[in-house]
Structure 1
Amino acid sequence: MIAYQFDRAGLYQGETLADESPLEPGVWLLPARCTLKAPPAEIPDDRWPRWNGVAWDLVNRPRPSAPADDDPVVKLQQFLAANPDVAALLG
């Protein structure tokens, strides 16, 4: 049987399979953080299904945060963009 996984925050992660109990026919053994209730069929791009313990809610999809100004990768990218001669030496 198909089960629907969610993370610790309740955000939908995907599908998995639940196994039938070998000791109790008709009883399904759910993996951790799963439900048998399917998320909504139609999900807008800016929303994400979130399991509230009873049903699925559609919450705002988190947006990736901009890299911090002190991120060393960003600093290196900015330096190489400002110094094409150094970038050419690396290329």
Structure 2
Amino acid sequence: MSKTVYQADHSGHYLGPVEADESPLEPGVYLLPAGAVEAPPPGEWPDDKWPRWTGAAWALVNRPQQTEQPSPAAKLAAFLADNPDVQALIEEQQQ
């Protein structure tokens, strides 16, 4: 037998529901996965918020904003522009 519990990551941010199995040695006692809690998170929350377990209850915190990362080629071009001596070594090796 199992029941649904709610998984949080190492910093308490909600990941999703998981199943907790009943202990084979103690009927009625459930073995919670690491970071899981029995209290359900809020049913709904705004897109800019994220449930986080505080150790006592769920709180809605600001969701981290994801920024667009430059491509590896753009990173390399910026590095070479900032380090002309490296660019010169590369050109020297190609001759």
Give the number of aligned pairs. Answer: 74
Structure 1: give runs of 5+ residues left out of the alignment.
79-91
- Note the 1:69-88 alignment, pairs <5 A: 72-73=72-73, 75=74
Structure 2: give runs of 5+ residues left out of the alignment.
78-95
What's the offset of the Cα at 1:42? 1.6
Pairwise CA RMSD of aligned residues? 1.9
What percentage of aligned pairs have identical amino acids? 53
Structure 2 counterpart of 1:22: 24
TM-score (norm 2): 0.71
Q: For residues 15-66 of structure 1, give each alpha carbon's deviation from its aligned partner in whole angstroms, at most 9, with x where no partner exists.
A: 1100111111111100011001000002111100000111100000111034
1:29 and 1:48 map into 2 onto residues whose CA distance is 26
1:72 and 1:29 map into 2 onto residues whose CA distance is 44
TM-score (norm 1): 0.74
- Note the 1:1-91 alignment, pairs <5 A: 1-67=3-69, 72-73=72-73, 75=74
Q: Structure 1 runs of 4+ off > 6 angstroms?
A: none
2:72 and 2:31 map into 1 onto residues whose CA distance is 46
Which structure has the bigger radius of gyration? 2
